[in-house]
Structure 1
Amino acid sequence: MNGNTPYAGLPGETGAGQRAAADVPELSRTQKRTLSRDVSRIAARTREFLPDEYVVDADVATGQAGFQVTVAVQPPVGHPVSAGFRPDLEDAAEELIPADERDEVARGLAASAALQVKQAVSDNVTPTAK
């Protein structure tokens, strides 16, 4: 019965729980550059929303499931926040990550990072008025 599942692996080729190499999408050099450029744009847009004290970084990694994009923000205080997703590589045109998605991710990360700071300092700030 386990031989009927996609997780059983192929004897001698793919271990159980692993994906076959044919299942993992391949990117051309142009697509890799485009993906890196799009991820850099998300990081740059996130930096525009935040003061200089916040550290923003982006990464494109290749794993068993394909390409994983991660953009992370380290606020001056509080916990870091990140967004990780897999872009749809099949319908890729000039942009692998559309502009509206880049803006949405950047806004969400900036808001989450600002909220982390607010939560971290909320106990230490005395309100000036009630």
Structure 2
Amino acid sequence: MNGNNPYAGAPGVVDAGRPAQDVELSRDQKLALRRAVAGIVAETESYLPEGYAVGSELSYGVNGPTATVAVQPPAGHPVSAGFSPDPDDLDAGLDAEDRTEVARGLAASAALQVMNVVGDSVTPTAR
């Protein structure tokens, strides 16, 4: 029954007797998050050859915004990266270095998935 109670939760996560506080983003913060995620998607695509599908998802929950960027390689398992930026970070703008690191990591992981499936018999292709 406690799982259905909005006031229940682990200590420090949700105080007993108080509901979780929704984190409201301003219009500008939402736009900044969308632009940052779209930039990660575009940069990830730039590192990969054709055949890789890259997409993103934004959600807004009780713990704030969550962004996920995923890559479906032509062979192997999909890879994804998710993050929950602090609303204050959205006002200042997400760090370009962090966005590049996420894009490169996703591209490398997706290429590794293909290499694991294909093996050493084919020369890997990347740009």
- Using the size of structure 1 for normalisation, the TM-score is 0.77
CA distance in 2, matches of 1:126, 1:60: 36
Per-residue CA deviation, residues 44-103 of structure 1 (Å, 9 max, x unaligned), is 0000000110000011111232110100000000000000011122243352x2100100
Decide which structure has the larger Cα Rg and report it.
1
Higher RCO, Cα 8 Å, sep 6+: 2
- Residue 9 of structure 1 and its aligned partner are, at CA, apart by 3.8
Change (3 A) 1:122 1:82: same
| Correspondence for 2:118 | 121
- Same amino acid, percent of matched pairs: 51
Cα-Cα RMSD: 2.4
| 1:90 counterpart SS class | helix
Alignment of 1:30-41 (within 5 A): 30-41=28-39
Letter in 2 for 1:100: E
Q: How many corresponding residue pairs?
A: 114
Match in the other structure for 1:88: 86
Specify which structure has the higher proportion of helix: 2
Gaps of 5+ in 1: 15-19
Q: How does 1:1-130 map to 2 (within 5 A)?
A: 5=11, 6-10=14-18, 14=19, 20=20, 23-95=21-93, 97-122=94-119, 125=121
Amino acid at match of 1:102: R
TM-score, with normalisation over the residues of structure 2?
0.79
Q: Per-residue deviation at 1:126?
A: 7.1
Distance, in Å, in 2 between the alignment partners of 1:98 and 1:32 is 16
